Structure 1
Amino acid sequence: MTRTETWPNRFWGSAPLPKTKREFFDAIVAPKASGDEPEIATIRLYGPIDSWGGYWGISAKDVGGVLDALPDSVTQIILRINSPGGHVFEGISIKNLLRAHKAKVTAVVDGLAASAASVIAAGADETVMSPGTQMMIHCTSTIVWGNAADMRKEAAVLEGLDRSLAEIYTAKAGEKDWATLLEAETWLTASEAVAEGLADRVADIPDAGESTTVSDDEQIVLLPDEDEPEDTAAARVIRFAASAATRVPRPPDSTEPGEPNRKETAVAYSDLTAGLRERLGVTDANATDEELLAALDETLEEQADTTPTATLPEGVVAIDATALAELRQNASAGAEARAEQTSARRDGIVDTALREGRITSASRDHFRAMLDSDETATTSLLASLAKNTVNVTEIGTSDSLTDSDDALYGSIYGKKEA
């Protein structure tokens, strides 16, 4: 049996495996449009209900991992269903997981909710049939090998399961002859499902919008060619996805009583593809991995062929770091030399005023400080002072003594000769 036959969503036989679990099971969280609106998470349950999980279908463990990864701020879950059903106990478990979650769950049948999938739909807080959809309910079935006693025992198990299904449908739609409806394998259109009470209304329910994808990081599955060189774009993308997955702690597999579990937003493959689409300018939201990798290779080739040139604003000049350091050193030395020249000039102005008899020695330091404060004004002030107003002749020495002066000095103090 291939994927295109009776079970179109099962990945077995000759059909190739999907590259990501997201191809048939996904969850996204939309940001709040305003502070008053609820934060909505959309879970797409498109595929059979199967305890194996993985590629073979959607298991209770898969759903539990997604619910655990939802942010605590999520207050509403839109569960979009298109499933032929599958394992009854997995369906009941998924229904109970959703019922136990604090968020309000709205089940939206997008195509078919049959068998175990109808159990999940009926267990939601609200069940909405999209136009043109159907729901199917029937008795449970199995395959058994053994003697007559084994057959009777298995029949009793199936009858008990049918009663369990009737209880679930009764909780949704009220008392009816569920045994007859199940035995007849009843197919219901959207309006008939509402009439029977298994759905609340027929309507088109808008999606929450794709923003942040949450899922168990084990579901990030990339299948590169074994011969893929490590330096290709595909290999780099795969390594990036693997490293991104390791940066976020894995959510717990169970939320049973005990130690409280903190929910974290898990990194999922859709974050990577959405980021690649944005950076590569790919407008097709449904672009395949191959198309994204081809766009990435093309971009990398363009970058390799183009030598980037930096464009500086007008008036801005680039300079080598060594040359800049040398200029700074020279500027510092020049500033020191200029400061010394300024100091020498101002000293000369004060000394000139002192020699010309314009100021006294006692006021020299005062006028020197004034020059440091305002050289122009102080220079003008000194120039305005009259010359020779201060006696600058030295006292106590003379070069014009006469011989009589020497004789007088000797008669008073005596003269000793050798």
Structure 2
Amino acid sequence: MNPFLRNPKAFQRTVIRAESPAPKPGEAGTVSLRLYDPIDSWGGYWGISAKEFVDVLDELPDDTSEIRLLINSPGGEVWEALAILNSLRAHPAKVVAVVEGIAASSASFIAAGVDELHVMANSKIFVHKAWSLCVGNGDDMAKSARDLEHEDRNIAAVYAAKAGGTVEDWLQVMADDTWYSADEAVAAGLADSVVAASGQQDIEAVEQANNRFDLSIFNRADGDRRARISSAAEAEADKKEGPMATLKETLAERLGIEADADDDTIVAALDEALDERAEPAESGAGTPGASVTAAPSLDQAVAAIRAAGLVAVEQGVVDDLRAKAERGDQARAQQIREANEAVVDAAIRDGKIPPARRDHWVNAMAADAEGTKSVLDGMEKGLIPYAEAGHSVDTDTSEGDEVYASLFGKEA
């Protein structure tokens, strides 16, 4: 339920909302819908829900070619607002949003996400990061934070698609709780134009719309902090007018000339200063103007190394340590390899695996020694027979042969 309602006695629902809200016919094929309430899944008194909005959208005439979405809303629930935005995007008619008072929070990305956005003079747009309430333990809080980050990037993508810039740019704008006047919204690329008030009656109508909601919940924002995602041309102008101006002022101060000196005067003064300093750069005794930086002594170098928390070691010692470490790694690898082979050879002796598969099982041990050993340990011994089953006889002799040999003698 939304936090934007003023004193219930002072709060009046939009008449068109009371009619659920019936579209107002305008020009041929054009209808107007007013989003003049908080966005709330409860609907009814508490605001407008996505379901209520879509029900009205579905009842629009088939020949509707343009929907004018008139907005004065403090925003509300993110997912309800996204559902409203996507229902407008899915409608075949062109959707033109007009901010008549305020488009804050989730109402701002509905406004930015349709085909066109125009802002009445004196109206405002407010963008910020998503909020949430969470009750639970630390894990619940962490998950809520991750969910909010996902929602923030989703919303920032809507602003970036409308105004340009990156998602990260708009995440920073949202983090700053940024307010935009009508002109600033156009300059930032969020809005396409400012609709000028035609008279005092229009100005009063906008002010009345602005005052309809209790926006104190947005008081985290430090005044009207406004950010702009500059175009490439604006960025280039900023670089020239900001840092370049500062550089000229600094040069003028260093060279002892007027701060408002033109470029030619600054260049001439700089050339003169350089000529005065142009001395032979060669080092040596008696060379006027020569500036030679002496190399630090050994003690100074050691002191600097120690101050940085480092230790100086001779190159030979470092090379020896590296060689020993490499040999140690090789020895450890050999030990592991021999241990793996011993496990496989034991499995072969136990008749668990055939010798022809030795390399396969050795490679498996290298990839996952613990898992492979567990598999081998679970195999039944004697699956591969190596001992002789039964007894063999000499096929070259028989009882008949022995009788023949006793009668006639053995053949030579």
Q: Same fold (TM over 0.5)?
A: no
Please identify which structure carries the higher helix content: 2
Alignment TM-score, normalising by the size of structure 1: 0.44
Rg (Cα) greater in structure: 1
Alignment TM-score, normalising by the size of structure 2: 0.44
